Structure 1
């Protein structure tokens, strides 16, 4: 059964986040609030954890998973970014945006899109999410916590515990988060394409 971590929303207890980080490093999945909605997080290089994450969401290999990075510099290790793309990323991050970019060789092939070789990338604007990435020491594989065959993300940690406690290693409770998925922008073709409109307003980026 998952452990419920009661974490302060602005000043997260590092001791608790280190416990959650160890669960991720041990192959577990953690449900975490972000600046958009709850997400499920896993270690990037853990094949079984990635497969488990897809099973919970009911996703096939063609669905883009997302890497949560600490900053723009870290994005450059995992995605190929040209000058124009960099300017857009700089204007949007951190924040509730996911960008589809061409993956570098540092991204395991099993988590990138099988034919396009692309990956979702984002830098969240949430102290707990960022602190957890820091505690793990590397970007985390993630997906919005939308139940299988549903369209709205979960936003209640108690509900997540009740329905998915047997599937997860832990759930972080720091109060509610906005409950709206990120806005997804595909940059892989050279021309920005808004794939999903969510918490981020495309007009603020001139799109």
Structure 2
């Protein structure tokens, strides 16, 4: 299904349709403040395995992100965070960053990396935040398989043409961006840049 949702004024009934699909084990393609993502409920093992098949990845080696609506539930999924690191997160989020933190016991085993870490993301995007709030917990997220030209992963109609038999819903909220989030590893206590993307690295600690 290709579902049009207004990016600035999302229709509640359409948000409910997506959340209902997620609760039933649905896989969605959805917008963020950077590129479109592939997502499902973090507690639905079958849906996670479906995403891994779509991406052609081994769940044990994959690097998943948790899409959160804000920082209020951070302590549920990440172990205690030093005050300086928390200040950085508070300054940067919502925004185009993924912060790698030590995973808590609440993180499903299938989603933990060998290093026992989790990527936390709070996109500055109304639809994403509404979906997570309505669902009641984070959405598990990965990037779309990168193939073909740029239009394929910025144009929801093309995404729908390619993935309609593999996913349940493609949300169309307009063209996506082509630059992914900036990834910062905070597990050592000192932030380390893993990938520079849409979020500026310079000035993050000022």
TM-score for both structures, normalised by structure 2: 0.93
Task: In structure 2, list runs of 5 or more residues that go unmatched.
Answer: none
CA displacement, residues 55-96 of structure 1 (integer Å, 9 cap, x when unaligned): 212223223100011111111210122212101101110001
Q: Report how many aligned residue pairs link the two structures.
A: 204
Assess, with a 3 A threshold, how the Cα gap between structure 1 residues 161 and 99 changes in structure 2: closer, same or farther: same
Which residue number corresponds to residue 98 of structure 1? 98
Distance 2:83 2:124 in 1: 23
SS at match of 1:20: helix
What SS does the aligned partner of 2:134 have? helix
2: CA distance, partners of 1:140 / 1:183: 19
Corresponding position of 1:175:
174
Specify the alignment match of 2:156 in structure 1.
Answer: 157
- Show structure 1 runs of 5+ residues with no match: none
Structure 1 residues 66 and 152, CA, compared in 2 at 3 Å: closer, same or farther? Answer: farther
CA distance 1:189–1:138, change in 2 (3 Å): same
Say if 2:137 is the partner of 1:138: yes
Supply the distance in 2 between the matched residues of 1:151 and 1:189 (Cα, whole angstroms): 35
Shift of 1:107: 0.3
SS at match of 1:180: coil
Partner SS state of residue 153, structure 2: coil
Once the two structures are overlaid, the 10-residue window that deviates more, 170-179 or 54-63, is 54-63
Task: Name the CA distance, whole Å, in 2 between partners of 1:121 and 1:153.
Answer: 26
The residue number in structure 1 matching 2:32 is 34
Match of 2:185 in 1: 186
Whole-angstrom distance in 1 between the partners of 2:38 and 2:149: 16
SS in 2 for 1:100: strand
Match of 2:122 in 1: 123
SS in 1 for 2:2: strand
Question: Which stretch shows the higher mean deviation, 72-81 or 20-29?
Answer: 72-81
RMSD: 1.9
Q: Deviations over 1:93-126 (max 9, x none)?
A: 000100111000110111010x210011011100
Q: What is the TM-score normalised by the length of structure 1? A: 0.93
Matches within 5 A, 1:191-206: 191-206=190-205
